[in-house]
A and B are shown apart, each in its own frame.
Chain A
Amino acid sequence: MAAVFRQTVAMLRGLLITGRYLFRRRVTAPYPDVKPPVAARFKGRHWLTLYADGLERCVGCELCVIVCPSQAIYVKAAENTPERQVSKGERHAEEFQINMLRCIFCGFCEEACPTGAIVLGHDYELAGYTRASMIYTKGMLTEPYPGASGRDPGREV
């Protein structure tokens, strides 16, 4: 009898606890309306960053291509010429493609990059309707102006 009483009280207390939860702040966000902030080091969509003077950081060394575990990156390097100085080194990336369907967002490319050219940004809404549209080309990856990716354009690497 005592056990029955104890268990009944326990159930009623449980009801009170869940009842209290009804008035708590919700832990989820109504996503498309409210976008929760991502962590500072979140690894999302890539950017090819620029120096403050607008020169490209990428020198076309292809280290990112080598380190990429899912072979998502394609780089075609070209020589810089005095008439057309794209980056600060001898070479620059003439073609730079990342297949976002293959990329696993491990961030190895960012770690391997000797000039800090490729960085992983905060954008995670990367859906597309076709496979072709998921291959990001250099024009899409290069930040539109120095610092557009959120990284300091004056940083060393």
Chain B
Amino acid sequence: MVEALLVAAVKSAVMLALVLTVCAYMTLFERRLIAGFQLRYGPNRVGPAGLLQPFADAVKLIFKESFRPAGADPLVYWIAPGIAMITALFVYAVIPLGPTLTVLGRPVPLVVADVNVGILLVLGASSIGVYGIILGGWAANSKYALMGSLRSSAQVLSYELVLGLAVASVVLSAGTLSLVEIVNAQQRVWFAVTQPVAFVLFLLGAIAETGRAPFDLPESEQELIAGYQTEYGGFNFAMFYVGEYVGIVTMGLLAANLFLGGWHGPLLPGPVWVAVKTLAFAFFAVWLRATLPRVRQDQLMALSWKVLIEIGFLNLLVTAAILAWRGG
């Protein structure tokens, strides 16, 4: 019992450190890459090729004053960023980073907990994450923040469905809710190949769910300054920011595990393949941001409710029909 707890604690700590580091570098990755798309250099002054920039940013944000706007609700105002960050980090309990390795003769699974409803947990936690955004925008007592959080809740609600439908057809094909089992079901052929419609739906849903361009309405700078995080600064802002970038990495890992075969790949070891596939998703997200202009609010809603959800249900029905016909 004690040993199991200890192992879990160590694994969680390692996972947490890893995820936070990756997310810190995701900001640098995005800034350098978007600079490349715009024929700039991006941050390259701190350390070699700007590699220490995330630490400089973190130090700066930590040492900034934690202020609260006069009309803000104190309790909710302080709790909201925490909710956003914790729910974003929470899902890493069930997301596998690779196959079970053997270290010193002991099997070490590269997942904190292989829960048999893993994917449900991930979707559930990311739904709770929107509470951080809603509460943050509400508590700040500012028009922009409120508008941003309202938009965010509408958007996350709509695209959660799209995401769920895309995931549901994968779950149906794999016949399991466990992320490890879903990856193992792709030993021969990726779900991105057998479920191309679901893959496209997942990509769109993931981009919208993380609130990234072209679906970054919750924090569209031109209209809402910074949306729900307008009134936040310093470390509270950093927590929202961490939550957001963790979300991107989470979606990348989900895309890798659900559609791109997870750790299955030739030559390279499993965890490297997971990293490569996650990075490919992140690259795609930045590429989209560099290319597409922001959609309008009504277009965003119409796209979800009038197009994507219908396609999702249709895809689910067809998948179910084929599986039933095959006698699955």
Q: How many residues of B contact A (CB 8 A)?
A: 13
List the B side residues contacting A27 at CB < 8 Å.
39-40
A19 at interface, CB cutoff 8 A: yes
List the B side residues contacting A106 at CB < 8 Å.
none
B37 at interface, CB cutoff 8 A: yes
**Segment at the interface with B among A10-18, A57-65, A87-95, A145-153:** A10-18
**Segment at the interface with A among B84-92, B218-226, B274-282, B287-295:** B287-295
List the B side residues contacting A22 at CB < 8 Å.
33, 36-37
Asked if B39 and A21 sit within 8 Å, CB to CB, the answer is: yes
What 0/1 pattern do residues 26 to 48 of A give for CB contact below 8 A with B? 11101000000000000000000
A139 to chain B, nearest CB (A): 34
Asked if A15 and B291 sit within 8 Å, CB to CB, the answer is: yes
A24 at interface, CB cutoff 8 A: yes
B41 at interface, CB cutoff 8 A: yes
Q: Count chain B CB atoms within 10 A of each CB in A22, A25, A27, A30 and give the residue with the most.
A: A22
Across the interface, name the chain B residue whose C-beta is closest to A18: B291
B44 at interface, CB cutoff 8 A: yes
Q: Which of A1-15 contact B (CB under 8 A)?
A: 11, 14-15
Asked if A30 and B41 sit within 8 Å, CB to CB, the answer is: yes
Which of B36, B44, B290, B292 is in CB contact (< 8 Å) with A11? B292
Q: How many residues of A contact B (CB 8 A)?
A: 14
Across the interface, name the chain B residue whose C-beta is closest to A4: B307
Asked if B292 and A28 sit within 8 Å, CB to CB, the answer is: no
Q: Count chain A CB atoms within 10 A of each CB in B39, B44, B291, B292 and give the residue with the most.
A: B291
List the B side residues contacting A17 at CB < 8 Å.
291
Asked if B287 and A18 sit within 8 Å, CB to CB, the answer is: yes
B46 to chain A, nearest CB (A): 13
**What is the CA–CA distance of A24 and B287 in the complex, to the nearest angstrom?**
15
**What is the CA–CA distance of A21 and B37 in the complex, to the nearest angstrom?**
6
List the B side residues contacting A28 at CB < 8 Å.
39-41
List the A side residues contacting B40 at CB < 8 Å.
26-28
Asked if A15 and B288 sit within 8 Å, CB to CB, the answer is: yes
Q: Which of A108-128 contact B (CB under 8 A)?
A: none
Asked if A26 and B41 sit within 8 Å, CB to CB, the answer is: yes
Which of A15, A25, A26 is in CB contact (< 8 Å) with B287? A15
A3 to chain B, nearest CB (A): 13
List the A side residues contacting B44 at CB < 8 Å.
30
List the B side residues contacting A24 at CB < 8 Å.
39
**What is the CA–CA distance of A26 and B41 in the complex, to the nearest angstrom?**
7
Asked if A14 and B39 sit within 8 Å, CB to CB, the answer is: no
List the A side residues contacting B36 at CB < 8 Å.
21-22, 26
Asked if A14 and B41 sit within 8 Å, CB to CB, the answer is: no
List the B side residues contacting A25 at CB < 8 Å.
39
List the B side residues contacting A15 at CB < 8 Å.
287-288, 291
Q: Which of B25-80 contact A (CB under 8 A)?
A: 33, 36-41, 44
Q: Which of B287-325 contact A (CB under 8 A)?
A: 287-288, 290-292
Asked if A14 and B291 sit within 8 Å, CB to CB, the answer is: yes
Q: List 24 contacting pairs A-B, 8 Å CB cutoff, sorted by A.
A: A11-B292, A14-B291, A14-B292, A15-B288, A15-B291, A17-B291, A18-B37, A18-B287, A18-B290, A18-B291, A21-B37, A21-B39, A22-B33, A22-B36, A25-B39, A26-B39, A26-B40, A26-B41, A27-B39, A28-B39, A28-B40, A28-B41, A30-B41, A30-B44
The 7 closest A-B CB pairs, nearest first, are A18-B291, A27-B39, A14-B291, A26-B39, A18-B290, A28-B40, A22-B36
**A residues apposed to B, CB below 8 Å:** 11, 14-15, 17-19, 21-22, 24-28, 30
- In the complex, given contacts A11-B292, A19-B287, A27-B40, what are 9 additional A-B residue pairs having Cβ atoms less than 8 angstroms apart? A14-B292, A15-B287, A17-B291, A18-B287, A18-B291, A25-B39, A26-B36, A28-B39, A30-B41
